Homo-oligomer: A and B are copies of this chain.
Amino acid sequence: MASMKKRADAALKLCGGSEKDYRKEIVKTAKALYKMNNVLIISHKAPDGDTLGCAFALCRGMRKLGKNAVVRCADEIPQKYSFMYEGMEKQEFKPEHFVSVDIAAPHLMGRLADEFENKIEVCIDHHLSNSIKAPVKLVDTKAAATAEIIWILLRAMGVELDKGIASCLFAAISTDTGCFKYSNVTPRTHLIAVELMKYEVECADINFKLLDEESPAKLELKKQALSTLEYCCDKQCAIITVTSEMMEQSGASNEDLDGVSNIPRSISGVECGITMKQVADGWKISVRSSDKVNASELCGKFGGGGHKAAAGCKFGDDYESAKKQLIDAVSEVLK
């Protein structure tokens, strides 16, 4: 396996990395994957571009090495990701080995958790909180997308990339970085993009499909939600409300809600953006904030939590009371 070490080194050099410990981890994981046949690769539930891009890129790569490999996901794969499995043949075999990609915790396997959570042999991820149990774990929290790690692994295994694999990986990176927009992007992210572009990836088409395209339902939801927009705390806080009726009337999905939750915080001058979403037993709150407001601490006051810039919490049925408590808490921070 000397050549695997060499190939890992070459890949790391191409994307600006060189730490010996990291290379060892890569080689260990690549070896484990290389030995497998009849592989089931598992994506997280409510799948996004990173988990799916990683799964299909790895699956295509394993097949190029002559192995049987399939992807499984607890939930249906949205149509916009269909290019990822386009042209792949159906394979029927009894899975013997199990790999998880971009899954931070067993429950994120959804309904597949019961069957597979204790069978994972290789876990590849970039979430700090990763709690999957597996003999081989490669969790690189510096990776903007898990796809960065998959790219290095495929190179280490000697898989010759092609348009299919490269498109999956590019889509995965584009998803998790908002197309190179967020603070998780590193030089490595750009350098891997350069490598992927060598395989005629239709980058702009993929970006449009994954980032800009909106369903009529989502747009209808946006319109309705925008009509509830209100400002408080000297216009430094903006609140948007999404009722169950709006969800029903628009036909929007929970995935569509993502784009809506980002609106209040995107308004110039707003330090804290709040989205109040009606759920069966009350109101689910999503907070996005600037440096001036710690969203996690704010939500912590109401039993919730999350990250500094994005967090959530829950309230009971009383909308006005929930809103008042939130506004009071934000005022306290901003005063």
Contact = CB atoms under 8 A, between A and B. Distances in A.
B181 A214 contact: no
A302 B223 CA distance: 31
B267 A214 contact: yes
A219 interface: yes
Interface string A178-206: 11111101110011011001100001100
Interface in A247-282: 262-263, 266-269
Interface stretch (A67-75, A101-109, A224-232): A224-232
Contacts of A307: none
A181 B267 contact: no
A183 to B, nearest CB: 4
A287 B223 CA distance: 21
Interface size class of A (residues with CB under 8 A): 35 or more
A182 B204 CA distance: 5
A222 B212 contact: no
A243 B268 CA distance: 24
B229 A204 contact: no
A329 interface: no
> Counting chain B CB atoms within 10 Å of each CB, which of A186, A231, A266 scores highest?
A266
A320 to B, nearest CB: 23
A235 interface: yes
Contact of A223 (B185, B186, B208, B223): B223
Contacts of A207: 181-182
A79 to B, nearest CB: 9
14 contacts: A179-B179, A180-B193, A181-B204, A186-B197, A187-B198, A190-B193, A191-B191, A212-B266, A214-B266, A215-B268, A216-B231, A216-B267, A219-B267, A223-B227
Interface of A: 16, 80, 178-183, 185-187, 190-191, 193-194, 197-198, 203-204, 207-208, 211-216, 219, 222-223, 226-227, 229, 231, 235, 262-263, 266-269
Listed from nearest, the 10 A-B pairs whose CB atoms lie closest are A183-B204, A223-B226, A190-B190, A180-B180, A187-B194, A181-B207, A179-B181, A190-B194, A213-B268, A212-B266
Given A185-B203, A186-B197, A212-B262, 16 more contacts: A179-B181, A181-B204, A182-B204, A183-B204, A190-B190, A190-B191, A212-B266, A213-B266, A214-B267, A215-B267, A219-B229, A219-B267, A222-B226, A223-B226, A223-B229, A226-B226
